[in-house]
């Protein structure tokens, strides 16, 4: 999967989303999920991805349980949960097998999205671990000062503001520093920027794209 061009994987994400919406039978959706799991296995993704997938399955099961409690329709609940899993799994494939810089390059070079917007995607993902570490540090600092959320959900939410406020302020400060550092590194100074990595389509990409188009056409024809 790592050898597939990012634009092909983006197309796969869109097509799988369409298939998940179009398909209404539980076996077909199950097959779609299994196919995606096989793709992940072939890609040899890390254990953290599987932990995320396990959480996704647990969340889908809760949603299915809630829907069953409301509708008493087990098949509908299973189909809804399967659709959600199928739609989300493809994002795991995309993010686990594509480097963000390659994705940015594909968005800019092949989708003609301005680099500034494509860069936002990369930067957001880059700072998630920093943001989580910052949140943990603030919680620990506030705990040292006696912060201990107690009471009902609403009370806990309001007491959590003691963490959110400094976190937001720090994030704003960081974003300002980042903007300055980007300027200092000549970001956006040229109309044409280069990309180190090659993201052009190869033969296997064309084959995958053609297969996806044919399958989608077949599914749409089956409906109408």
Residues near another protein (CB under 8 A) are 99-101, 119, 122-123, 125-126, 129-130, 174, 177-178, 180-190, 192-198
Question: Which of 192, 222 has the CB closer to another protein?
Answer: 192
Query: Cβ 138 to another protein, closest distance in Å?
Result: 16
* Contact call for residues 108 and 115 (beta carbons, < 8 A): yes
Question: Which of 101, 216 has the CB closer to another protein?
Answer: 101
Query: Cβ 199 to another protein, closest distance in Å?
Result: 11
Question: Which of 51, 193 has the CB closer to another protein?
Answer: 193
Query: Cβ 42 to another protein, closest distance in Å?
Result: 20
Question: Which of 88, 98 has the CB closer to another protein?
Answer: 98
Measured CA angle at 194 (ends 190, 200), to 5 deg: 140
Residue 95 CB coordination number (10 Å): 17
Residue 38 backbone dihedrals phi, psi, to 5 degrees = -65, -45
Question: Which of 71, 197 has the CB closer to another protein?
Answer: 197
Q: Smallest Cα–Cα separation from 6: which of 219, 208, 200?
A: 200
| 2-21 b/e (C-beta count within 10 Å ≥ 16 → b) | eebbbbbbbbbbebbbbbbe
d(CA 163, CA 184): 32
Query: Cβ 136 to another protein, closest distance in Å?
Result: 14
Q: Which residue has the tokens 């599987």?
A: 50
Burial of 160 (C-beta count, 10 Å sphere; 0-12/13-18/19+): middle
């Amino acid at each position: 999967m790592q050898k597939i061009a990012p634009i092909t994987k983006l197309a796969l994400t869109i097509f799988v989303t369409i298939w998940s919406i179009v398909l209404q039978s539980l076996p077909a959706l199950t097959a779609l999920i299994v196919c995606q799991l096989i793709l992940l296995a072939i890609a040899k993704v890390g254990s953290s991805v599987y932990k995320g997938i396990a959480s996704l399955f647990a969340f889908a099961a809760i949603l299915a349980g809630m829907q069953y409690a409301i509708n008493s329709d087990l098949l509908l609940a299973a189909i809804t949960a399967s659709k959600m899993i199928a739609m989300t799994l493809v994002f795991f494939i995309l993010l686990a097998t594509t480097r963000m810089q390659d994705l940015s390059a594909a968005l800019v070079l092949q989708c003609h999205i301005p680099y500034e917007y494509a860069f936002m995607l990369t930067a957001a993902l880059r700072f998630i671990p920093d943001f989580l570490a910052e949140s943990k540090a603030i919680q620990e600092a506030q705990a040292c000062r006696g912060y201990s959320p107690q009471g009902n959900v609403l009370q806990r939410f309001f007491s959590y503001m003691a963490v959110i406020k400094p976190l937001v302020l720090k994030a704003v400060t960081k974003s300002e520093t980042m903007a300055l550092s980007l300027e200092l590194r000549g970001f956006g100074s040229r109309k044409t920027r280069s990309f180190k990595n090659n993201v052009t389509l190869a033969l296997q990409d064309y084959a995958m794209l053609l297969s996806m188009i044919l399958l989608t056409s077949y599914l749409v024809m089956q409906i109408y």
